[in-house]
Structure 1
Amino acid sequence: MIWLILAAGLGSLLMTAALRRYALARSLLDIPNARSSHSLPTPRGGGVAFVATFLIAALFLGWNGIIAPGLLYGLMGAGGLIALIGFMDDHGHIAARWRLLGHFAAAGWGLYWLGGMPPLSVFGLALAPAALGVVIGLLYLVWLLNLYNFMDGIDGIASIEAICVCMGGGLLYWMTGNTQAIWLPMLLAVTVAGFLFWNFPPARIFMGDAGSGFLGIVLGLLALQAGWINPLLFWGWLILLGVFVVDATFTLIRRLTRGEKVYEAHRSHAYQYASRRHGSHLPVSLSVAAINLLWLLPIAAAVVIMKVDGVLGTLVAYAPLTLLAVKYRAGERE
């Protein structure tokens, strides 16, 4: 299976190069404007490369019995629909209400095939009854795929986050003896790495909504799958996603309190303020990797191995991230 994953990574790298040439030939460029964090017209839509290679390779894993059918159907249907909606929006425009309807449909599909929310607990108490758990699961998945879109605003950041989360999640599986579950996160990490070769600062192509939304919902579903293996593993994945969850959520709340239209483009996330303060995308994207590896991964491992309460571990992990969000003015008016 390792050869299949490596081949998928190479396929992603080559397909991204082909998509870049196609976008340049057809002038499918992201033109900078007052809300942009880049200064040069840049090809967009490169995320289709890792979407396609991941889904094709996942099919092979499924045919070989490496992935359970329910998980495969959930990922293929939900991820494929979100990528399609994002692709159509990248090449035209879909009204926000119709995008949101599609997001909930994809989340519902994925949640159904995974068997709903895993049996999570908060400080020892069951999280919610089954019906309320479905509502929580839908909101969780829709928010995660949208926040991933919001956080894909500077070169390399969304790709680096996905790779770090998947590698961290794979390590948690290895540490707990669940080695069979490692293949999917490793596949996603390698295919995104193929795209990152072209997206690393300064980016030569952007992933677009098709790629960012796909990453959001697939990572959300992988976290739920982890929760069915061991509820503490879900909290471990949620901790690993902390940089994106805290920045996006903190920014959203502050904008909502001012009555702003949260679906309109803006540059008020902490990572966007940070990139302007430091004059470059590279140190911010690399800092995200450092936070993931040096802070979030050890806490996630401690929660899983030492059986620390998942909510407590998440709060400890998120506390300094919230302070960073305040320091870098997340959600403040531009």
Structure 2
Amino acid sequence: MTVWWLLLAVLAVSWLLTLGLRRYALAKSLMDIPNERSSHSVPTPRGGGVAIVVAFLLALPVLTGLDLLSREALYGLFGSGLLVAIIGFADDHGHIAARWRLLGHFIAAAWALFWLNGLPPIELFGITVDLGWFGNILALVYLVWMLNLYNFMDGIDGLASAEAISVCLGMCLVYWFSGNLELIWAPLMLAAAVAGFLWWNFPPARIFMGDAGSGFLGVVLGAIALESTWLNSELLWSWLILLGVFIVDSTLTLIRRLVRGDKIYQAHRSHAYQSASRYYASHKRVTLGVMAINVFWLLPISLAVGSSMLSELVGVLLAFVPLILLALKFEAGAEERGSSS
């Protein structure tokens, strides 16, 4: 019963902190001002994602005290998430050069991998493959890419929050059906922390998440996924499938911009979700559409892979191919009209 009270406390702390952060941002004029690269038209307070960070990190030691989270996971999630959030918070208040942000991201990812014991052996086509140090390098790149892609995808009202909640709750179901109930508490607490913020961020948003929140969500989701892999390697594929909308849109957009020779560190509006929000003239329709894709398309595939009813490769292809076609339909990574490299 204690853990359910903790869940409610996390939700309440996040809600109240977001309210406080909104008032602070308004008082200090910490606003996102719309420009030609924005998907918004109204100046809006930013930095509300700090509420997610604080509410979730406060819950982690309690989970460990209740023997619902290992000390290794506590140290890995807490340290990496806190460092990424601090870097994002500093960048929200005053620009930090991209090279220093990236260095900090790699340090945070390495910290998480150290405590989570790196990348475990992965099962492919029924064969267990231990990639050793190369696997750890891949895991490091994966965590850094996860936190940055989540930052890239936080561009319209409610999208990053809705993605985190639907993915976390979806994975709780995967854990339930695959017999890994001991893993549900960290994603459940993260969903509660994000839900308290989403109350203020749902379209039309009254406060934005900011880099502190989006980067934090990316690295924490990536680390939680790696932790689950030590119990069952199929669970990593379930996570990647449920995160498919963000992975496909951000990766395809990055590749197309790299091929075109764009400066990838410059702000832009060429993600598929941004194009879709302009096409429908609605942030809410796109955010709800992504949630529908997660629940009705990606979740059943993720459940099938996590429960060994579908092979990993087939599951990933089944999930990602339609997402790639959808992203291309909405011109992910295409040059913005009226702009030049």
Matches of 2:266 and 2:125, distance apart in 1: 37
Q: Aligned-pair distance for 1:28? A: 0.5
**Which residue is equivalent to 2:301?**
299
Which residues in structure 2 correspond to 1:174-193 (within 5 Å)?
174-193=176-195
8 Å Cα contact 1:252-1:262 kept in structure 2: yes
Question: Can you list the C-alpha shifts for 1:113-160, whole angstroms capped at 9, x where unaligned?
Answer: 111002113334455521101110001000010000000000000000
Q: Aligned-pair distance for 1:306? A: 3.4
**Which residue is equivalent to 2:124?**
122
**Which residue is equivalent to 1:61?**
63
Question: Can you list the C-alpha shifts for 1:205-239, whole angstroms capped at 9, x where unaligned?
Answer: 00100000000000001111111110111100110
Matches of 2:147 and 2:158, distance apart in 1: 17
Verify: 1:158 aligned to 2:160, yes or no.
Answer: yes
| 252, 255, 258: which one aligns with 1:256 | 258
- Point out the more displaced range, 158-167 or 221-230: 221-230
Question: Can you list the C-alpha shifts for 1:170-218, whole angstroms capped at 9, x where unaligned?
Answer: 1111112221211110000011000000000000000100000000000
**Which residue is equivalent to 1:331?**
333
- Point out the more displaced range, 171-180 or 103-112: 171-180
Q: Aligned-pair distance for 1:79? A: 0.3
| 32, 43, 46: which one aligns with 1:44 | 46
Matches of 2:188 and 2:121, distance apart in 1: 25
Runs of 5+ in structure 1 lacking a partner? none
- Point out the more displaced range, 174-183 or 292-301: 174-183
Q: Tell me, what secondary structure is at the counterpart of 2:331?
A: coil
Matches of 2:54 and 2:205, distance apart in 1: 20
Matches of 1:243 and 1:157, distance apart in 2: 11
Give the structure-1-normalised TM-score.
Answer: 0.98
Q: Tell me, what secondary structure is at the counterpart of 1:306?
A: coil
Matches of 2:38 and 2:72, distance apart in 1: 40
8 Å Cα contact 2:119-2:139 kept in structure 1: yes
Matches of 2:104 and 2:61, distance apart in 1: 23
Give the structure-2-normalised TM-score.
Answer: 0.96
Matches of 2:44 and 2:313, distance apart in 1: 41
**Which residue is equivalent to 1:239?**
241
Matches of 1:145 and 1:298, distance apart in 2: 25
**Which residue is equivalent to 2:24?**
22
Distance 1:44 1:293, change over 3 A: same
2:141 aligned partner, one-letter code: L
**Which residue is equivalent to 1:312?**
314
Structure 1: which 4+ aligned runs deviate by more than 3 Å? 124-128
Q: Aligned-pair distance for 1:59? A: 1.3
Matches of 2:63 and 2:130, distance apart in 1: 33
8 Å Cα contact 1:164-1:292 kept in structure 2: yes
Q: Aligned-pair distance for 1:318? A: 0.4
1:315 aligned partner, one-letter code: L
Q: Aligned-pair distance for 1:286? A: 0.2
Matches of 2:274 and 2:317, distance apart in 1: 24
8 Å Cα contact 2:234-2:308 kept in structure 1: no
Number of paired residues? 334
| 78, 98, 108: which one aligns with 2:110 | 108
Matches of 2:173 and 2:198, distance apart in 1: 21
- Point out the more displaced range, 318-327 or 175-184: 175-184
Matches of 1:43 and 1:281, distance apart in 2: 17
Q: Aligned-pair distance for 1:80? A: 0.4
8 Å Cα contact 1:232-1:307 kept in structure 2: no
Runs of 5+ in structure 2 lacking a partner? 337-341
Question: Can you list the C-alpha shifts for 1:287-310, whole angstroms capped at 9, x where unaligned?
Answer: 000000000000001112234221
**Which residue is equivalent to 2:79?**
77
Matches of 2:224 and 2:6, distance apart in 1: 20
2:311 aligned partner, one-letter code: D
8 Å Cα contact 2:164-2:191 kept in structure 1: yes
Q: Aligned-pair distance for 1:64? A: 2.1
2:64 aligned partner, one-letter code: G
1:23 aligned partner, one-letter code: A
Matches of 2:145 and 2:309, distance apart in 1: 27
Matches of 2:238 and 2:136, distance apart in 1: 21
**Which residue is equivalent to 2:289?**
287
Matches of 1:277 and 1:40, distance apart in 2: 19
